[in-house]
């Protein structure tokens, strides 16, 4: 059995709302095995995206701990968490957040430039990732000159340019038509395997979710009891 790489223990997220507290969730326990592709499903407002943000170190839990291997990220300083995210986690969002004034190549280079890598090395890695998603020829084009599917492929290239160990995606096909969404999800599946990633996807698309190794459903800030989709085996050379 693969080892648990991401471990969340007794997570809670509470926001102040006037004189009262808004509890998004509490008492969440989660383990994600190394090499696993996990889908989080559920209605809007159930807490899926909030949980993903905590797992990605974009926000701090009100209570609880998050470990990547033996490293507790929930206790890191803001700068330490930013460095950890840059090196260990690739993010894909429903909205692409590409910088419109920059080319596809420059957008993909950005995480490496932030890390302090030279322009030449960053460009070489960015070209390689764009080639991997089938967009090398579109490298000099600005974001506004690309279709929605092409923009999302640039986002995938940007997420992987830093060679992360984890990919976190929040509705990565949500703004795309079904055919383009299918292409993006197939690409995500292939990249998950070829980069030996541990991946967590938030999605409303159950047909995509069922293609993951495991599916968890969130309802009212908790994992739904009795919800089960037969897990896909992790066995295979890509997980050895």
3-state SS record for 4-34: EEEEEEEEEEEEEECCEEEEEEEEEEEEEEC
* DSSP string covering 132-197: HTT-GGGTTSBGGGS-HHHHHHHHHHHHHTT--SEEEEESTTTTS-HHHHHHHHHHHHHHHHHTT-
What are the percentages of helix, strand and coil residues in the chain, rounded to 5?
35, 30, 35
Contact of 37 with 213, CB cutoff 8 Å: yes
User: Which pLDDT value is given to residue 30?
Assistant: 96
Cα–Cα distance measured from residue 184 to residue 171, given in angstroms and rounded to the nearest whole number:
11
How long a stretch of residues is the chain? 240
Domain boundaries, the chain: 34-59+76-232
User: Which pLDDT value is given to residue 45?
Assistant: 84
Contact of 88 with 68, CB cutoff 8 Å: yes
Q: Tell me which residue of 37, 89, 69 sits closest to 234, measured CA to CA.
A: 37
**Which helix (H) or strand (E) is 198 found in, with range?**
strand 198-202
CATH level 2 (architecture), domain 34-59+76-232: 3-Layer(aba) Sandwich (3.40)
Q: Tell me which residue of 100, 26, 112, 109 sits closest to 61, measured CA to CA.
A: 26
Note down pLDDT in tens along the chain; length 240 residues.
467 999 999 999 999 888 888 999 999 999 999 999 999 999 888 899 999 999 999 999 999 999 999 999 988 999 999 999 999 999 998 888 899 999 999 999 999 999 999 999 999 999 999 999 999 999 999 998 999 999 999 999 999 999 999 999 999 988 888 899 999 999 999 999 999 999 999 999 999 999 999 999 999 888 987 555 555 555 443 433
Quick one: how far is CA 1 from the chain centroid? 23
Residue 55, SS3 per DSSP: helix
Residue 16's DSSP bridge partners are 21
**Which helix (H) or strand (E) is 216 found in, with range?**
strand 214-219
């Amino acid at each position: 059995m693969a080892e648990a790489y991401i471990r969340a223990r007794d997570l809670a997220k509470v926001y102040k709302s006037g004189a009262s507290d808004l509890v998004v969730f509490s008492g969440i326990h989660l383990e994600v095995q190394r090499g696993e592709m996990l889908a989080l499903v559920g209605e809007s407002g159930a807490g899926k995206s909030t949980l993903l943000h905590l797992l990605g170190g974009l926000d701090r839990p009100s209570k609880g701990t998050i470990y990547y291997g033996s490293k507790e990220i929930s206790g890191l300083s803001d700068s330490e968490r930013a460095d950890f995210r840059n090196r260990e986690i690739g993010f894909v969002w429903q909205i692409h957040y590409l910088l419109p004034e920059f080319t596809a190549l420059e957008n993909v280079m950005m995480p490496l430039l932030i890390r302090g890598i030279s322009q030449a090395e960053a460009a070489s890695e960015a070209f390689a990732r764009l080639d991997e998603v089938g967009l090398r020829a579109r490298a000099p084009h600005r974001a506004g000159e690309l279709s929605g599917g092409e923009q999302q492929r640039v986002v995938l290239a940007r997420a992987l340019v830093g060679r992360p160990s984890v990919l976190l995606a929040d509705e990565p096909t949500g703004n795309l038509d079904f055919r383009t969404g299918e292409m993006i999800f197939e690409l995500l599946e292939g990249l998950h395997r070829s980069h030996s990633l541990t991946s967590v996807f938030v999605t409303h698309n159950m047909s995509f979710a069922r293609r993951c190794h495991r599916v968890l459903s969130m309802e009212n800030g908790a994992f739904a009891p009795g919800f089960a989709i037969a897990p896909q085996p992790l066995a295979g050379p890509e997980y050895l």
